[in-house]
Every structure is written in structure tokens, then in C-alpha cells.
Amino acid sequence: MHLLQRQGSVTEMIAEHPFWLRWPLYYGVIIAILLLGNFGQEQFIYFSFNL
């Protein structure tokens, strides 16, 4: 994202592309978040410290 932001606004770059190209990009991002996201039931980090 940082490399893309150097060239200008990412939202404007995406908006310049046609409809049929933008929506697969949106779906790809959603799928990447669902597959690569960390959705485990881990304890909050501060509960792991013993005093």
C-alpha cells in the first residue's frame, strides 16, 4: 500500500478503472482478509502476564 500511495491516492486510482475491473479487486481483498486474517480465540495479551 505504501508503494501505491507514493503515486497518489489509492481510492482515486481504483476509481479510474472500469466497473468490471474494480469489483473483482474488491472481492479479492475480502477473500484475502478472510483467508489470511487472524480470527482465533486467543486471550488478550495483557491477561497472559502473571504478577
- Cα–Cα distance between 4 and 13 in angstroms, integer? 9
- Cα–Cα distance between 29 and 10 in angstroms, integer? 14
Residue 28 neighbours by CB distance under 10 Å: 10
Range of the domain at 24: 2-37
Per-residue pLDDT of the chain (51 residues; tens, 9 = 90+): 777 778 888 788 888 888 898 899 899 989 999 998 877 776 666 666 665
pTM for the whole thing?
0.57
- What integer pLDDT is reported at residue 19 of this predicted model? 87
Q: Are 10 and 4 in contact (CB under 8 A)?
A: yes
**Residue 21 included in any domain:** yes
- What integer pLDDT is reported at residue 50 of this predicted model? 62
Angle subtended at Cα 22 by Cα 38 and Cα 24, rounded to the nearest 5 degrees? 55
